[in-house]
Structure 1
Amino acid sequence: MTLLDLSASDLSRLIAARQIKPSEIMTEHLSRVAERNGAVNAIVSAPTPDLLMAAAKQADEEKPQGWLHGIPLAVKDLVAVKGLRTTYGSPIFANNIAPADDIVAKRMRRAGAIFTGKTNSPEWGHGSHSFNPVFGATRNPYDISRSAGGSSGGAAAALACRMVPVADGSDMMGSLRNPAAFCNIYGFRPTWGLVPSDALGDTHMATLSTEGPMARTVEDIARFLEVLAGENPQAPFPRPSQPFGDSLTMDLRGKKIGWLADWGGAYPCEPGILELCETALGVFRDQGAEVETLSAPFPAQELWKAWLTLRAFLNAGAKRALYEDPKSRDQLKPETQWEIEQGLGLSAAAVYEASVIRSRWYARAARLFETYDALIMPSAQVWPFPVDWRWPQEINGQTMDTYHRWMEIVVPVSLIGLPSLALPAGFGSTGLPMGFQLFGPSGSDARILAMGQQYHLATDWPNRQPPQFKF
């Protein structure tokens, strides 16, 4: 085992005990970036190695002030990091140097992280395949002819390649969960509001997207969440942080888990995905949990209708100025233009109806959680697909009518802001990874992480690769 194989939590403990230096960690990670990043294209806009080594050597001499002290961290390119090129995957911002940190970057910096660059994402985070006209596509470490997912695909690929020990991501429509499944790592979408947004634009109605942690261990997820979480006095609906990393012990005996599979056939899944996830459910059964197969608890088409409406409404509001300027409109990807156009055509009645559907589903889910401690579905409906596709056009012969319909299985969680941990489920017959999402009621983040920790201790999939895969 090398330094690259250690978790961020282990590295943090070793640094605090003065048993290892940040410069030693940086040396190993820079070597891995030089070795692997050219093939996968996960980390972009990186400072020079000399600058990074200088920052690490300075950290050698300083007393650790936070969990990330001296740890290399590349930040998703949808997050502004002061002094680093921050493009949002858009040619409009191809040369943008961020003048200030976004709130989550500020918290990472305060915890001692050394920023080694940005992680690639699709333009504006639209779509679960990380390609854009600025940097190109991120490739899957398990098969570089395949997608790493998105929109946190660069983060997931960098983690799988051991180019970073922990990573941040964001999730509106599965962007923490889908790439985690594609790259055999963990991703956590926290309860909406636990990780606050910046006080920019609308902060009252924009309650679909959230930042969150990605890692190769659940402990790293929990401890990084402590860094990211906590109230922003300038943003509404505050939620206090908790000591998530010290709350991971749980006895699963007597816990009840509902298996929702493909939502009664509403969410088609490519062959082998459901079977692999069902096998993974056996880990919970072996530890004493009761797993019960459930029928679809709410009409999928109503959820999709509400999702399309609210997503388009928010995209149109946030990006209308770019759309109305002919110069910038021509540089927006077609999918983003479509989102904005859908939103601009909405009536107030349509938005209200979507919000009512969302409210009804929240209430129905709350009743489910009176019986079940957690629910489970696959994290993705397709295996990692060819990197030169824009998106999967069909699943099992069923045409996908939008650029994101193929990942509809994440909508029940995203629509109502539930905490959801993407867990690796293992590998399919071709050696490609897949995963499932374990989710619970609003505010149950600690419970979901503790349940996930028991699964991780029994499996540790991120350190178990198929025979043909070599780091």
Structure 2
Amino acid sequence: MSDFRGQLTRELAEAVRHETVSSLELVEAALERIEATAELNAFITVVADSARECARQADQAASRDENLGPLHGVPVAIKDLRSRKAGVRNTMGLAPLADNVAGEDSIIVERLEAAGAVIVGTTNTPALGHTIKTENRLVGATPTPFDHNRSAGGSSGGSAAALAAGTVQLATGSDIGGSLRVPASCCNVIGLKPTFGLVPERVPNDGFSPHSPFFVDGPMARTTEDIAVFLDVLAGHDSRDPYSVPAPNVDYVGAIDRPTDDLSVAYSLNLGLQPIAPAVRETVTAAVDDLAAAGATVDTTDVSLPPYGELSKAYIQQVGVFFRTFARQIAAEYQIDFEAADVEETVRATIELGAEIDATAERLQNGPRTAAYDGIEDALEGSDVLVTPTLTVPPYSKHLADGYPTEIDGQSVRGVPTDMMLTWIFNLTGHPAASVPAGLTDDGLPVGLQIVGKRFAEADILSVAAALERARPWMDHYPDG
């Protein structure tokens, strides 16, 4: 089997363009790799036949010297939630939708295929993307390739595991509290939550739903350059999304070459909110120290946010209303009774979070959100980015039934997802944020560094991510199996 895992997307697309490698070779390698790592349950649906046919068409286009896109012939995967490809199963991680087939392409899929990408399959997600472990009754749990007893994270865990296993170059994800960044941290890849509105997506029947809290789609990859190339394909206005904005006149790929000594970084270990496990603290601190040693200006900063209890209440109430509404829409469209259906108890519990919250109470949570936004803006003043750990703990058990840790660094916590991550704050505030590999613990578990930028300053995030990648290369730190 050919191994293309160490190559960049631009290199592979150029190789297909110049016919030094065929798209069909890339697709066959991806399909073989998917089969070889099947125990990860990274994919819900593999579309081998259509991928091969698309690859043949890509090779024919290259032979005719046509004007080819930046992803021409490159295998990619799409998360089985909002990324929909016509004629392919779209289950949203729900057993009752095991046979549901998408009737049309989502905007992201349109843009991927217009850029020449070849979709090889849809990746695993917890039902409705409801939590930060990827497990469902369709294909089971997805572990991180670094430890098959620990979670790949969620809800984009299938995409993250697929990337870490080297099955594809790029994969889509979505994020309402950390669903791009948490799996990236658990699997030693990059997940970028862009500024709300930068990457368009039309939510069927409710185009105005994703603002409370901010729910976005975004790119995932193994390298900063691949994220930059991918973002360039995804970003830009589409009139079908009422929140969509024009893409800034920014060279995302060029941003990765910004000199490290031109970068200014504000660093907060925990945003003043939660305890951090020693292994995470040590790994992130070492990464930040390496950034400074490479020439970046790094200043430790205090971030003024509402207390953890107040801020997490705001998030839980708003995300609870979001998921309850989402579930009701799915129930009506597909005739699913979530009380009786074959769904996980954690799905029902998530839906119930919004049961007793009236509209006024939900809207009043914009007060803590505003205070958090102001605090993050103040922390970013004078710096390109703010960096924190992505997760407060290393990757945790992969099974939903096992729950979450109830103690971190000797301190009792509630054992709920918001205890485990420092990501959800930025779904309240809307700031773009990425998780990039910070390093591995002494036990060989991946730890993510979260990089937060000003609104529409994704280029600054990419510049810092690339500087860290130069200082602490991670491409050789993936499991072989």
| Bin for the TM-score computed over the shorter chain | over 0.9
Is the CA contact (8 Å cut-off) linking 2:338 and 2:348 kept in structure 1? Answer: no
Q: Give the structure 1 partner of residue 34 of structure 2.
A: 33
Distance in 1 separating the partners of 2:202 and 2:329: 19
Q: Give the structure 1 partner of residue 429 of structure 2.
A: 416
Q: Give the structure 2 partner of residue 216 of structure 1.
A: 222
Q: Give the structure 2 partner of residue 89 of structure 1.
A: 93
Distance in 2 separating the partners of 1:2 and 1:131: 28
Is the CA contact (8 Å cut-off) linking 1:4 and 1:28 kept in structure 2? Answer: no
Q: Give the structure 1 partner of residue 6 of structure 2.
A: 5
Q: Does 1:267 align with 2:274?
A: yes
**Runs of at least 4 residues off by over 4 Å:** 321-326, 397-400
Q: Give the structure 2 partner of residue 320 of structure 1.
A: 328
Is the CA contact (8 Å cut-off) linking 1:182 and 1:383 kept in structure 2? Answer: yes
1:290-310 deviation digits (Å, cap 9, x = unpaired): 222223421232221211111
Matched ranges for 1:250-329 at <5 A: 250-253=258-261, 255-264=263-272, 266-299=273-306, 300-321=308-329, 327-329=337-339
Is the CA contact (8 Å cut-off) linking 1:66 and 1:111 kept in structure 2? Answer: yes
User: Which one of 392, 403, 408 corresponds to residue 404 of structure 2?
Assistant: 392
Distance in 2 separating the partners of 1:312 and 1:262: 24
What TM-score does the superposition give when structure 1 sets the normalisation length? 0.93
User: Which one of 135, 138, 150 corresponds to residue 146 of structure 1?
Assistant: 150
How far off is 1:254 after superposition? 5.2
User: Which one of 441, 450, 454 corresponds to residue 467 of structure 2?
Assistant: 454
**Which one is further off, 355-364 or 428-437?**
355-364
Distance in 2 separating the partners of 1:410 and 1:2: 34
1:145-202 deviation digits (Å, cap 9, x = unpaired): 2211111111111111110011111111111111111111111111111111205343
Q: Give the structure 2 partner of residue 366 of structure 1.
A: 377
- Alignment CA distance shift 1:338-1:247 (3 Å): same
Q: Does 1:192 align with 2:196?
A: yes
Q: Give the structure 1 partner of residue 480 of structure 2.
A: 470
How far off is 1:18 after superposition? 2.8
What TM-score does the superposition give when structure 2 sets the normalisation length? 0.91
Q: Secondary structure at the match of 1:191?
A: coil
User: Which one of 239, 258, 261 corresponds to residue 245 of structure 2?
Assistant: 239
Q: Give the structure 2 partner of residue 58 of structure 1.
A: 57
- Alignment CA distance shift 1:115-1:284 (3 Å): same
One-letter code aligned to 2:52: M
One-letter code aligned to 2:269: A
Q: Secondary structure at the match of 2:304?
A: coil
**Which one is further off, 399-408 or 410-419?**
399-408
Distance in 2 separating the partners of 1:470 and 1:338: 38
- Alignment CA distance shift 1:291-1:127 (3 Å): same
How far off is 1:321 after superposition? 4.6
- Alignment CA distance shift 1:217-1:86 (3 Å): same
How far off is 1:400 after superposition? 4.9
User: Which one of 175, 181, 184 corresponds to residue 180 of structure 1?
Assistant: 184
1:5-61 deviation digits (Å, cap 9, x = unpaired): 21212111222233221112122222212212x22111221124x443333122111
Q: Secondary structure at the match of 1:422?
A: strand
- Alignment CA distance shift 1:170-1:292 (3 Å): same
Q: Structure 2 unaligned segments of length 5 or more: list them.
A: none
Percent identity at matched positions?
Answer: 31
Distance in 2 separating the partners of 1:281 and 1:326: 48
One-letter code aligned to 1:120: N
One-letter code aligned to 1:395: E
Is the CA contact (8 Å cut-off) linking 2:17 and 2:68 kept in structure 1? Answer: no
How far off is 1:315 after superposition? 1.6
User: Which one of 428, 443, 451 corresponds to residue 430 of structure 1?
Assistant: 443
Is the CA contact (8 Å cut-off) linking 2:264 and 2:383 kept in structure 1? Answer: yes
Q: Structure 1 unaligned segments of length 5 or more: list them.
A: none
Q: Secondary structure at the match of 2:326?
A: helix
- Alignment CA distance shift 1:255-1:113 (3 Å): closer
Is the CA contact (8 Å cut-off) linking 2:199 and 2:218 kept in structure 1? Answer: yes
**Which one is further off, 158-167 or 107-116?**
107-116
One-letter code aligned to 2:406: E
Distance in 2 separating the partners of 1:88 and 1:400: 30
Distance in 2 separating the partners of 1:407 and 1:194: 27
One-letter code aligned to 1:422: S
One-letter code aligned to 2:232: E
Is the CA contact (8 Å cut-off) linking 1:122 and 1:130 kept in structure 2? Answer: yes
One-letter code aligned to 1:268: P
Q: Secondary structure at the match of 1:73?
A: strand
Is the CA contact (8 Å cut-off) linking 1:322 and 1:328 kept in structure 2? Answer: no
- Alignment CA distance shift 1:327-1:369 (3 Å): closer
How far off is 1:284 after superposition? 1.6
Count of paired positions: 465
- Alignment CA distance shift 1:347-1:108 (3 Å): same
Distance in 1 separating the partners of 2:359 and 2:415: 23
Q: Give the structure 1 partner of residue 453 of structure 2.
A: 440
Distance in 2 separating the partners of 1:352 and 1:154: 33
1:319-343 deviation digits (Å, cap 9, x = unpaired): 2255687734322433332333332
Q: Secondary structure at the match of 1:297?
A: coil
Distance in 2 separating the partners of 1:247 and 1:365: 23
Q: Give the structure 2 partner of residue 345 of structure 1.
A: 356
- Alignment CA distance shift 1:446-1:148 (3 Å): same
- Alignment CA distance shift 1:33-1:254 (3 Å): closer
Q: Give the structure 2 partner of residue 76 of structure 1.
A: 79
- Alignment CA distance shift 1:26-1:235 (3 Å): closer
How far off is 1:439 after superposition? 0.6
One-letter code aligned to 1:76: K
- Alignment CA distance shift 1:51-1:237 (3 Å): closer
Q: Give the structure 2 partner of residue 16 of structure 1.
A: 17
**Which one is further off, 147-156 or 227-236?**
227-236
